[in-house]
Amino acid sequence: MITATTTHRHTAPRHAAESETQDVIETRLWLDEHDWLYGLLRSHNNVSPTFRFPDLISACVSLVFAHNNAASLIFQFLGTELVLREPLTPRRRESMWRQQYQCLLDLQRSPQNRHPNPKFQLDQLTTACVALCRSWDISGSAVLQQARRNIVERAQRSWTGSSS
């Protein structure tokens, strides 16, 4: 069973809001999606700032959840494409920001992921978000733009002292 782990970027946060916004959650990605994100990470378009995996993965989750039918999109991908892949495919360990993890956790706990439906794990939900973004925009420019928007949202939350 694959679990999520909280890690901290700072050992001594300046205030509670910073602690909440600096947390990243460990997840895993299937290799095809990891390789695409790695290409985006190394892309000449990924500059100023250079986004890392937590930013890129979280941007993919945000882009998918911007759709009103995000759950349907994710479960359609899982039920028609990911389910046909070799179940023991290796995965890469990466991280995402807490806010986007919460979206996936809520989806993992949703009725669509309960009996009689198949039960999908965090790595599969994360992989679905990355795969959907890749299918919508192979260049990854939308992911990079969303990563910028996510940084702004985290910064605004840390300045206002709100958390989510």
**Would you list the domain boundaries of the chain?**
6-160
CA dist., res. 150 & res. 78, Å (int)? 25
CB atoms within 10 A of CB 108: 17
First to last CA, the chain: 26
Q: What pLDDT does 130 receive? A: 98
Per-residue pLDDT of the chain (164 residues; tens, 9 = 90+): 444 544 444 333 344 444 444 589 999 999 999 999 999 999 999 998 999 999 999 999 999 999 999 999 999 999 999 999 999 999 999 999 999 999 999 999 999 999 999 999 999 999 999 999 999 999 999 999 999 999 999 888 877 765 55
- The SS3 call for residue 23 is strand
